[in-house]
Structure 1
Amino acid sequence: MRGEPSFWRRNGLSLVLAAIFVVFLLGQVLTGQAAWNEEIAREGRAPLTLWAYLDSGHFISATFENWESEFLQMGMYVLLTVWLRQLGSAESRPFEPRPFEPRPFEPQPEDIEPGPAPWPVRRGGLWRRLYAHSLTAAFLLLFLGSFALHGYGSWRHHNDERRLQGRAPVELSEHLRSSDFWFESFQNWQSEFLAVLSIVVLSIFLREDKSPESKPVRAPHRQTGA
């Protein structure tokens, strides 16, 4: 009997993704600090230390501007795939089966991992109903939090730029109504949905052997779902 996989093997995907995230975030911090210090140095201001930069509107705005678009993309994708289908895409649920076929995504006993169901399922009632939609709810909350921090950071950065130009700062409400703020958001939102559209459509015709995001290599183009 084979033993349980090691910690690294059980969590390899999450650990590698987390490591890549940290590396790229560190790169953003260091290059962002250098870029902002170059800009304020041209106005005769003292450069910011690393800790001061992490509290600056430049860093907060840039970071959460990107995070909000990612959480919006993932939340909308999770929600839209409940109802919508794309023939041939590995990213779509299959269409309704013929009457004699088992319904898709109704797991049979042999398909379920051994062990107790999550506690909200065992509790039942309202807890089960909330848990049944908890993934979308989590992405919605992450999006709203990131959107709020993007707005706050963008406002601070906008006022920092105005001060460098010798202009008076603006109120938060005024900045949130400005075209500059919404341009920052829309330029990221559109790119995220383009990326999702790309994998939905490309997975109809292209394959990556052994990836759960791809259909099997021998699968016909019309096969829907991985």
Structure 2
Amino acid sequence: MKHWIRDHGLLLVNGALFVISFAGMVLSGALSYDADQQAHGGTTVGVLGFLGTGEFVEATFENWESEFLQMGMYVVLTAYLFQRGSSESKLPGRHEPQDDDPRDASGDSNAPWPVRRGGVVMRLYEHSLSIMFFVLFAASFLLHAAGGSAAYSEEQAAHGLPGTTVLEYLGTSRFWFESFQNWQSEFMVIALMIGASVYLRERGSVESKPVAMAHGSTDT
């Protein structure tokens, strides 16, 4: 058990941080929502009720949408583009193990099943990481629109105005402002990480080059 925890520590700790942060978001969000309802003479909903509100759905998937887009684009762009000196980039002009044709390993009994199966299954598998992120992005994008539409309609109703459908909400500047304000921050952080890793170090981290390595070197 001790070795299993050590071998999966990175995933376990990040998973725990997610659960703690998500719980904090739900609890604080419910308190904020109920306080707003009381201030406007509305009905409070509590924590469980808050999970069914458009505000919760919108806030959750508005953020998840940008994260999935960021990672999907990062996975794809690092397959084709380079940044000399960055620990986040492959070495320009050199064949890397990630570039190997999986068809050459179809007879390897230790290879993942899709590689041994070949055909369409293997072609999907060799792009499965980016496919997963883009599917999750698309789902979060639609749920963001659905939650945003519900939250917007609730606000409109409080002022005696008509609500909006999901498709109508997709055409509003509010929806795209919510999306772009998150997307820009994700791509800013990625660009900063790529550029900063050329000159800055974190000893022991796989996201950093060795501390003594020259700035211009990409080969880790």
TM-score by length of 1: 0.90
* SS of residue paired to 1:6: helix
Percent identity reads 44
Q: Which deviates further from its counterpart, 158-167 or 173-182?
A: 158-167
Deviation at 1:34, TM superposition (A): 1.1
Say if 1:142 and 1:36 are closer, same or farther in 2 by CA, change over 3 A: same
The question of whether the paired residues in 2 share the 8 Å contact of 1:207 and 1:217 is answered with: yes
**Corresponding residue for 2:112?**
118
Deviation at 1:37, TM superposition (A): 1.2
> Structure 1, residues 38-96: CA drift from partner, whole Å, max 9, x if none?
11111111211211100100100000000000000000000011111011110011011
Q: State the number of aligned residues.
A: 213
TM-score by length of 2: 0.92
Q: 2:96 aligns with which of 82, 100, 104?
A: 104
CA distance in 1, matches of 2:41, 2:158: 9
**Corresponding residue for 2:68?**
71
Say if 1:10 and 1:50 are closer, same or farther in 2 by CA, change over 3 A: same
Unaligned runs of 5+ in 2: 101-107
Which amino acid counterpart does residue 155 of structure 2 have in structure 1?
E
The answer to which structure has the higher helix fraction is 2
Root-mean-square deviation (CA), in Å?
1.8
Q: Which deviates further from its counterpart, 38-47 or 12-21?
A: 38-47
Alignment pair present for 1:18 and 2:12: no
Which one has more relative contact order, counting CA pairs under 8 Å at least 6 apart? Answer: 1
The question of whether the paired residues in 1 share the 8 Å contact of 2:62 and 2:144 is answered with: yes
Unaligned runs of 5+ in 1: 98-102, 108-113
Which amino acid counterpart does residue 53 of structure 2 have in structure 1?
S
Alignment pair present for 1:210 and 2:204: yes
**Corresponding residue for 1:55?**
52
> Structure 1, residues 190-209: CA drift from partner, whole Å, max 9, x if none?
00000100100000000001
CA distance in 2, matches of 1:77, 1:225: 19
**Corresponding residue for 1:158?**
152
CA distance in 1, matches of 2:67, 2:10: 19
The question of whether the paired residues in 2 share the 8 Å contact of 1:91 and 1:225 is answered with: no
Q: 1:183 aligns with which of 171, 177, 185?
A: 177
CA distance in 1, matches of 2:191, 2:109: 36
Deviation at 1:170, TM superposition (A): 1.8
| Aligned 1:32-51 pairs, distance under 5 A | 32-51=29-48
**Corresponding residue for 2:104?**
none
Deviation at 1:115, TM superposition (A): 6.9
